[in-house]
């Protein structure tokens, strides 16, 4: 009978950890012609397979710093990889000269600013950091 309280405590802890995970959203400039992105399109953009929006315009991909929880959640949800695994992937692509990684922006406030000021920018943020100055085009679970 002593096991039941331990099991319930463990289950409660798991529920709290899972619910604490941020909801990550992908944002673009309000003037962007893009209204939504599929998961595949986001993978292609953020893993360097394409560098253009569907209309052919060059995209400015924005990343949060490597120690950001939102960055960790974004890549875990998008490609099921840790930030270290994504960094290793980019190191290999950089070495071969095939692609370059997204531009790192210092924080979510500056990601919002960069997206607001650049029609071709795309970034991701914790949904709690988004305001009406950008357009949400996808959610990453």
**CATH number of the domain to which 119 belongs:** 3.40.190.10
Q: Is residue 78 part of a domain?
A: yes
Q: What is the pLDDT of residue 140?
A: 96
Q: Is residue 15 part of a domain?
A: no
Q: Is residue 43 part of a domain?
A: yes
- Secondary-structure breakdown of the chain: helix, strand, coil percentages, each rounded to the nearest 5: 45, 20, 35
Q: Rg of the Cα trace of the chain?
A: 17
Q: Is 2 a residue whose pLDDT tops 80? A: no
Q: Is residue 32 part of a domain?
A: yes
Q: Is residue 119 part of a domain?
A: yes
Alpha-carbon span 66 to 21, nearest angstrom: 17
Those residues whose C-beta lies under 8 Å from the C-beta of residue 51, and which sit 6 or more positions away, are 45, 58, 59, 61, 99
Q: Is residue 53 part of a domain?
A: yes
Q: Is residue 14 part of a domain?
A: no
Q: Is residue 5 part of a domain?
A: no
DSSP state of 38: -
Domains of the chain: total:
1
Confidence of residue 19 (pLDDT cuts 50, 70, 90): very low
Q: Kindly report, residue by residue over 23-82, the tens digit of the pLDDT.
A: 999 999 999 999 999 999 999 999 999 999 999 999 999 999 999 999 999 999 999 999
Q: Which domain holds residue 45?
A: 22-140
């Amino acid at each position: 009978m002593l096991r039941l309280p331990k099991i319930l405590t463990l289950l409660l802890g798991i529920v709290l950890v899972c619910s604490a995970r941020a909801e990550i959203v992908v944002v673009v400039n309000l003037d962007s012609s893009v209204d939504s992105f599929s998961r595949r399109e986001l993978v292609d953009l953020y893993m360097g397979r394409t560098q253009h929006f569907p209309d052919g315009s060059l995209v400015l991909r924005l990343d949060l710093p490597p120690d950001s929880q939102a960055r960790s959640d974004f890549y875990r949800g998008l490609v099921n990889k840790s930030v270290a695994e994504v960094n290793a992937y980019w190191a290999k692509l950089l070495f071969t000269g095939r692609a370059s990684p997204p531009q790192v922006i210092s924080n979510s406030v500056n990601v919002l600013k960069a997206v607001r000021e650049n029609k071709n920018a795309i970034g991701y943020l914790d949904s709690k950091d988004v305001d009406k100055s950008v357009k949400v085009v996808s959610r990453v679970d």
